[in-house]
Amino acid sequence: MVDVINPLQLRRTSIDEDLRGASEMVRNYITLRGERLDVTQAEVDMGAPFGGAVSTMSDVNTFFGALFRGDLVSDASVNEMKKIGSSFPDYGLGIRRDERS
């Protein structure tokens, strides 16, 4: 991740530093039985490839801007990520389409 974090100057993004208490950190919510729950802590601690990183919305925007401009991966890889898969209809490679956003 340092190969991405440092060149993009993502100052409020970390893998190993505890930024979970930062007020501007992107939060993660689910709705369960009609109740909106903050599950940010669970996501950070999951240990899965998508878990463990914490960031601010500003850094997330910087990252996705660089990703979709092709600054981080090849244009072919970006195009693959944008394809919606057949196994999970709303997912590409690491990207999920959500009409509610």
Range of the domain at 99: 74-101
- Based on the domain organization, do 17 and 64 belong to the same domain? yes
Distance CA 92, CA 85 (A): 5
Distances (CA, A) of 78 to 20, 39, 44, 100: 29, 29, 25, 23
* pLDDT tier at 52, thresholds 50, 70, 90: low
The answer to whether 81 touches 93, Cβ cutoff 8 Å, is yes
Same domain, 34 and 59: yes
Q: CA dist 10 to 7, 95, 98, Å?
A: 8, 20, 25
Given pLDDT bands bounded at 50, 70 and 90, which one contains residue 86?
Answer: low
- If asked whether residues 36 and 54 sit together in one domain, one would say yes
pLDDT in tens, 7-41: 999 998 877 555 555 666 677 788 889 999 887 76
Q: Are residues 11 and 60 in the same domain?
A: yes
Judge if 39 and 63 occupy the same domain: yes
As for how many domains the chain has, the answer is 2
The rounded radius of gyration (Å) of the Cα atoms in the chain is: 15
Q: Are residues 53 and 97 in the same domain?
A: no
84 and 57, same structural domain?
no
